[in-house]
């Protein structure tokens, strides 16, 4: 249908027209063999946006000639899941393949929503096909994961994207009526970021914004058109990295206005909320750290709450955490300390653990002096006794260097009171 977006018009209907993922759907590949045999178990497709997860699910349903139900985890609840399962059960005829239930962004389903699928999947009422951009090992409950195969899809490579571009220009019902010349392809490939949908969206943007008889695609033209359309946010390409970089640097730079603006840009562009939440957890430890340890607690609570609440209310949780982190005092002393410690380990190798710090589970080890001189800190005043914890070769080495945040000043004052001659800066 000409009124459909280009990406929808170009959606392949069978495996022979499917571009990419040859490790799954190529000749003698596992998914192709299962589809051709007519026996397809429940499975989850894991991969970045725009690599053909939804398309593959539709092709499987078409090939098996079974009813195809679809739900989006963004706006479906437990009741929606149960309604679809009931319809699928009533549509199934004796001794026929199970209807397919496709759930897009299944990682956004809460535990209760995923639980509601278990019985239907286990009894074969439905064949579940889930799509996710997140590692299902972390985002899908174990009982459901154990009932599904997981197949990993990859970003499309250069040759795949060029094949798709050529096919769209020469076979699409609208584009084939125009003269389109790809003079340069570096920019359109770069901005697509391995995402077929993004590539087709950019191509459509170029054709819609240029009514000349001949459209010549160049790197400058692609860049210019995308800059004129800031809403064309690219979750897999250059703009994605630019905006998340601006967001991170605004939080780090203690500018809550800028941070909330870039958060809004990501939300408007369809960024995965879980991706943003993970970045906030990293920011809380990398850039705020010991200056305000509560930041990590809040960021982690944000990540958990987002899974429970979902969207669109989840945007408020992200906003609260973003503003708090941007407004918080900053310190990267823990980040610098672990990097310095790792570098020290690489430089000095496997230095022996001091004998008094070693465990002595056998009598021989006790005879060798393992643990003999160890002093149990809780047996002493203030739960502290001065003794050597580092290898003797690093006895005087200073690794953690506190910064001038009030919280760290308090920590270092306490350590100096305990250690007397150590932790002096």
- Residue 391 structure tokens: 């290898």
Which one, of 267, 178, 275, 185, lies nearest residue 222 by Cα? 185
Mean pLDDT, the chain, integer: 86
Residue 1 confidence class, pLDDT cut points 50, 70, 90: very low
HEC string for 341-372? HHHHHHHHCCCCCCHHHCCCCCHHHHHCCCCC
The closest of 243, 334, 242 to 288, measured between CA atoms, is 334
pLDDT band at 162 (very low <50, low <70, confident <90, very high): very high
- Predicted confidence at residue 43, as pLDDT, reads 95
Report angle CA 153, 139, 326 to the nearest 5 degrees: 105
Is pLDDT of 233 > 50? no
* Helix (H/G/I), strand (E/B), else coil: 190: helix
pLDDT at residue 259, rounded to an integer? 92
Mean pLDDT score, 221-243: 64
Q: Which of 314, 316, 278, 315 is nearest to 299 (CA)?
A: 278
Between 314-327 and 256-268, two packed helices, what is the crossing angle to 10 degrees? 150
- Burial of 2 (C-beta count, 10 Å sphere; 0-12/13-18/19+): exposed
Query: Beta 127-132 vs 43-46: how paired, if at all?
Result: parallel
Distance in angstroms (rounded) separating the CA atoms of residues 119 and 85: 10
Give one DSSP letter per residue of 6-49, joined into a string: HHHHT--SSGGG--S-HHHHSTT-HHHHHHHHT----EEEE--T
C-beta neighbour count of 281 within 10 angstroms? 19
pLDDT at 217: 93
Contacts of residue 298, Cβ cutoff 8 Å, sequence gap at least 6:
284, 321, 324, 325
pTM for this structure? 0.56
pLDDT digits (tens, 9 = 90+) for 298-349: 999 999 998 888 878 889 999 999 999 999 999 999 989 998 898 888 888 8
pLDDT at position 30, please? 92
Q: Are 272 and 310 in contact (CB under 8 A)?
A: no
State pLDDT tens for residues 377-401: 888 888 988 888 888 888 878 888 8
Cα–Cα distance for residue pair 362/280, rounded to 1 Å: 46
**Distance from chain centroid for Cα 343:** 28
Per-residue pLDDT tens over the stretch 38-52: 889 999 999 888 899
What is the C-alpha to C-alpha distance for residues 123 and 309, in angstroms, rounded to an integer?
29
Residues 6+ apart with CB under 8 A from 109: 73, 103
Distances in whole angstroms, Cα of residue 397 to Cα of each of 2, 34, 341, 385, 416? 70, 60, 10, 19, 16
């Amino acid at each position: 249908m000409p009124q459909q977006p280009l990406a929808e018009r170009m959606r392949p209907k069978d495996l022979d027209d499917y571009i990419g993922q040859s490790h799954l759907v190529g000749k003698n590949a596992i998914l192709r063999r299962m589809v051709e045999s007519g026996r397809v178990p429940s499975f989850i497709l894991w991969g970045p946006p725009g690599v053909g997860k939804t398309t593959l699910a539709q092709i499987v349903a078409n090939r098996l000639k079974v009813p195809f139900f679809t739900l989006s985890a963004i706006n479906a609840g437990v009741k929606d899941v149960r309604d679809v399962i009931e319809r699928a059960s009533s549509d199934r005829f004796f001794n026929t393949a199970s209807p397919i239930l496709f759930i897009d962004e299944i990682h956004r389903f809460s535990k209760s929503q995923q639980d509601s699928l278990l019985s239907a999947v286990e009894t074969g009422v439905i064949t579940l096909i889930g799509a996710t951009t997140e590692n299902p090992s972390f985002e899908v409950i174990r009982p459901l994961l154990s009932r599904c195969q997981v197949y990993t899809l990859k970003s499309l490579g250069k040759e795949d994207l060029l094949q798709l571009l050529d096919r769209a220009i020469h076979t699409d019902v609208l584009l084939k009526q125009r003269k389109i010349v790809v003079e340069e392809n570096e920019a359109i490939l770069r901005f697509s970021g391995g995402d077929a949908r993004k590539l087709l969206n950019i191509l459509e943007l170029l054709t819609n914004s240029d009514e000349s008889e001949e459209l010549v695609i160049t790197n400058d033209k692609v860049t210019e058109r995308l800059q004129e359309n800031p809403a064309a946010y690219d979750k897999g390409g250059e703009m994605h990295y630019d905006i998340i970089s601006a967001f991170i640097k605004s939080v780090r730079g203690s500018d809550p206005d800028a941070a909330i603006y870039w958060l809004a840009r990501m939300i408007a562009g369809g960024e995965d909320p879980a991706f943003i939440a993970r970045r906030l957890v990293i920011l809380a430890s990398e850039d705020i750290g010991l200056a305000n340890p509560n930041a990590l607690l809040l960021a982690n609570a944000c990540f958990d709450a987002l899974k429970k609440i979902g969207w669109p209310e989840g945007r408020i949780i992200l906003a609260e955490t973003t503003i708090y982190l941007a407004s918080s005092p900053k310190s990267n002393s823990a980040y610098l300390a672990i990097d310095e410690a790792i570098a020290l380990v690489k430089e000095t190798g496997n230095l022996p653990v001091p004998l008094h710090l070693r465990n002595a589970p056998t009598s021989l080890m006790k005879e060798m002096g393992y643990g003999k001189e160890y002093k149990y800190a809780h047996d002493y005043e203030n739960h502290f006794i001065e003794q050597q914890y580092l290898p003797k070769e690093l006895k005087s080495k200073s690794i953690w260097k506190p910064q001038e945040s009030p919280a760290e000043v308090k920590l270092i004052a306490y350590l100096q009171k305990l250690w007397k001659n150590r932790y002096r800066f």
